Each structure stands twice: as structure tokens, then as C-alpha cells.
């Protein structure tokens, strides 16, 4: 039995992992689908002071509450920022760190640093209507999505050395979504030692478009 921790992206919720988590449990594994403050099932807890550290704290607390010692940690999209933050605290306990078409920050980088003018204009423009909150990007609007706390996009990840203790690192790149801010990470991991790289014929919703491939990659660590 392997323990898995799944972290969703911006504006989303744990529902993004409904099928994947069900399939992992059906295969006999334990799964924590993280609930992030102010998003998804916890959207009523939204306030403009939520930071990236808040979400890292959320995940660490849920790992400890589940009693997981060693685990596979996967993050989708913005979730890549969160799982990197978790790795700076619990890296020695992570059997595999999986980025599912996700942001991959270096030391001292925020999501703002990893995005461009299109995203920045939207983040700033959103403040006219709801200070401290960012609406879904144009083209991603859907009733199930909720505003995302701005400060999580501005706070940098700070490495501690613990993240270097992660046993394995995996990147899954969605090659059927354009324009994508994630090509920079594909280019990085394709030349950087120590990465297990996969491509999915999928939109940004890799788990929905390629559920069997995503499941197979994660079960490869069981």
C-alpha cells in the first residue's frame, strides 16, 4: 500500500481529482486530496490574507492528520507551488514529487515570477472588483471555479535543503494546450538530471483528458 497526497490548482478544488483518487483507492492505496483554505470545499473560508504558506500549512497538517509517514505528493497547475513548499519541509519523507502540468519554482521564485504580462494584467485587473482575490483567467471561467487569493501568487518559495531529499521527481507536460506557461518547465526538466519526464496528449486538465495515463504514472511508485 502506498500513500498519495493530491493538491489541486488555482480556482479549483479537490473535485479535480475525483476519478484519480477513486482509482487509487480502488487499487488499495490511501489518498489525501488536499483542501486548501478559501478554495473548493473550503471556499467559505476565503479572506484576502491567505498566502502560499497558508496552503502549504494546510497540506502539511492534512498529511500529519492522516498519519502518513512516507508518501507520493502530486500537484496540478498552481498546486506545483504548494507541493514545492511542502517539499521544503517534508522532503525526506516524499517518495516521489509529481508535477502534473504544474508550476515548478526555483528558490526565491513566486508564481508571479513564472508568468507573463497576460497573467499579470489579469491579476492586477481583478483587484478593481474584488481586492485580494483573482478571478479565473479568461477562457477558464466555469461555475464550479472560485476566486483565488492574490497573495498566494506573489509569495516566493524558499528552499531549505529539505527539498533536495525527495527520492524521485516527475513532470507531466500537457502538449495539447496552447498558449501554455508550462513549456518553460518542460524545457528545464528535459535537460536537468534526475527527472522522470512524461507528455500527455491533453489540455491542462490532464487528469480528465488522460485518466489512464495519469493513474499509470502514479501507480508506478506503488
Q: Which residues are identified as catalytic?
A: 77
Measure the CA–CA gap between 42 and 22, rounded to whole angstroms.
21
First to last CA, the chain: 7
Measure the CA–CA gap between 87 and 49, rounded to whole angstroms.
23
Q: Is the dihedral of CA 54, 83, 202, 17 positive or negative?
A: negative
Q: Is the dihedral of CA 91, 66, 204, 109 positive or negative?
A: negative
Cα 135 versus chain centre, distance: 18
Under a CB-based contact definition with an 8 Å cutoff, are residues 170 and 217 in contact? yes
Phi/psi at 148 (5° precision): -115, 140
Amino acid at each position: 500500500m502506498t500513500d498519495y497526497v493530491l493538491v489541486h490548482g488555482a480556482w479549483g478544488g479537490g473535485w479535480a481529482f475525483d476519478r484519480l483518487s477513486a482509482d487509487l483507492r480502488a487499487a488499495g492505496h490511501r489518498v489525501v486530496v488536499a483542501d486548501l483554505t478559501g478554495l473548493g470545499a473550503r471556499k467559505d473560508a476565503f479572506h484576502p490574507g491567505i498566502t502560499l504558506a497558508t496552503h502549504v500549512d494546510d497540506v502539511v497538517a492534512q498529511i500529519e492528520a492522516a498519519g502518513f509517514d512516507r508518501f507520493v505528493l502530486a500537484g496540478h497547475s498552481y498546486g506545483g507551488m504548494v507541493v514545492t513548499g511542502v517539499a521544503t519541509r517534508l522532503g525526506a519523507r516524499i517518495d516521489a514529487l509529481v508535477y502534473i502540468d504544474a508550476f515548478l519554482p526555483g528558490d526565491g521564485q513566486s508564481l508571479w515570477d513564472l508568468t507573463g504580462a497576460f497573467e499579470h494584467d489579469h491579476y492586477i485587473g481583478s483587484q478593481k472588483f474584488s481586492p485580494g482575490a483573482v478571478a479565473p483567467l479568461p477562457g477558464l471561467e466555469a461555475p464550479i471555479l472560485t476566486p483565488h487569493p492574490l497573495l498566494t501568487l506573489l509569495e516566493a518559495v524558499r528552499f531549505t535543503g529539505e527539498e533536495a531529499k525527495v527520492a524521485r521527481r516527475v513532470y507531466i507536460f500537457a502538449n495539447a494546450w496552447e498558449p501554455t506557461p508550462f513549456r518553460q518547465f518542460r524545457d528545464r526538466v528535459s535537460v536537468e538530471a534526475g527527472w522522470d519526464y512524461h507528455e500527455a496528449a491533453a489540455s491542462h486538465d490532464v487528469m480528465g483528458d488522460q485518466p489512464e495515463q495519469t493513474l499509470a504514472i502514479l501507480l508506478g511508485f506503488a
